[in-house]
Amino acid sequence: MTLPAVRYAREALAAAADPEKAAGMQAYMKTDMPFYGVQKPGRVPVIRHIVRTWPPADQREYEELVLALWCQPHREEKYVALGVARGHARFITPASLPLYRRLVTEGAWWDLVDEVATRLVRRVVVAHPEAWAEIDRWIEDSDMWLRRAAILSQIGAKDATDAGRLFDYCRRRMHEREFFIRKAIGWALREYSKTDPGAVAGFVREHRDGLSGLSYREATKHIGHLVGE
């Protein structure tokens, strides 16, 4: 299963390659990793074909398939790996958190980490609250990308958001000077402000002196009128 799926992905992406777009995508991501130059609309059918044609029978096959794609040399193959991981909903469970942790630590850049956090980890913790015990460890991890993933893990959860945990994570990391943490705090608060603007306004008012300017500006984009802006 794994080898045919990887071969198909590489051949399909290579056939759609656009060197000019590849150069632009690589520059935008500020990475030395090569690109084919295949943007999202061109990757979607590749992901769908793999999901339909090579469905994993069990957890082991799910992880093997995702990692086989992930370990290929081009960025788009990693995007396909994440798409395939999303495409098999029955495996998006606490059992997959070690896999998702690996994807975060090896991905180590916002395009990959944010996809894992918001599209995979979120679905795990919303459906399986007991999984928070693992994410509670991420927020204190020495790996900055795991801390970012923990902060972003409720993006899109809306009414299912564990607001107390969201605010606790932001409070515990708001002292950091790291841009990607400050940005994550602001983004997470801004998104939740669309669901409960009053709660977010209360949090940012209480912690105005502790939040970085970046986090505060991002958090209050839609609720400035509630915090006196």
For the chain, how long is the longest CA-to-CA vector?
A: 58
**pTM for the complete prediction?**
0.96
Dihedral sign of CA atoms 132, 136, 142, 143 in order:
positive
Token readout for 58 is 């069990």
Among residues 195, 198, 122, 199, which one has the least CA distance to residue 168? 199
For residue 226, the model assigns a pLDDT of: 86
For residue 227, the model assigns a pLDDT of: 86
pLDDT along the chain (229 residues), means of 10: 91 98 98 98 99 98 98 98 99 99 99 99 98 99 99 98 99 98 99 98 97 98 86
Task: Name every residue whose Cβ is closer than 8 Å to that of residue 171 and which is 6 or more positions away in sequence.
Answer: 207, 210
3-state helix, strand, coil in the chain (%, to 5): 75, 0, 25
Taken in order of first residue, the domains within the chain and their CATH numbers are 1-91 (1.25.10.90)
Side chain identity at residue 9, one-letter code: A
For residue 229, the model assigns a pLDDT of: 66
For residue 161, the model assigns a pLDDT of: 98
For residue 1, the model assigns a pLDDT of: 63
